[in-house]
């Protein structure tokens, strides 16, 4: 994601002719975009994106389990309706 933001920023600097970037050649300006595309293709092909998604979902599920575990505790001393 950071590489894509950088690529768009450099492209905008070149289009609006900001001094440090306006002297760069177009292949130098488009290189970050090409690298971001390669990263995205590799991440999808290798399963990196799917693995990170599964890890994030596992962390969320674990947090839900810990949060909800306290709601369903069985306490025989405090039963409603007991005398």
**Residue 65 resides in a domain:** no
Nearest to 28 by CA among 15, 2, 10: 10
35 domain-assigned: yes
Is the residue at 60 inside a domain? no
Q: Give domain status of residue 80, yes or no.
A: no
Q: How far apart are CA 22 and CA 19, in angstroms?
A: 5
* Residue 46: per-residue pLDDT: 95
Average pLDDT over residues 49-76: 85
**Total domains in the fold of the chain:** 1
Nearest CA-CA partner of 29 in 42, 41, 16, 40: 16
- What is the extent of the structural domain holding 14? 1-46
pLDDT of 27 reads 96
The pTM of the full predicted model, rounded to 2 decimals, is 0.64
Establish if 52 belongs to a structural domain.
no
Question: Mean pLDDT across the stretch 25-49?
Answer: 95
């Amino acid at each position: 994601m950071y590489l894509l933001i950088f690529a768009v920023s450099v492209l905008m600097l070149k289009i609006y002719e900001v001094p440090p970037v306006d002297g760069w050649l177009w292949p130098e300006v488009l290189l970050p975009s090409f690298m971001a595309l390669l990263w995205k293709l590799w991440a999808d092909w290798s399963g990196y994106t799917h693995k990170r998604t599964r890890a994030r979902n596992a962390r969320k599920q674990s947090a839900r389990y810990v949060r909800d575990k306290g709601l369903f505790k069985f306490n025989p001393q405090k039963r409603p309706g007991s005398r």
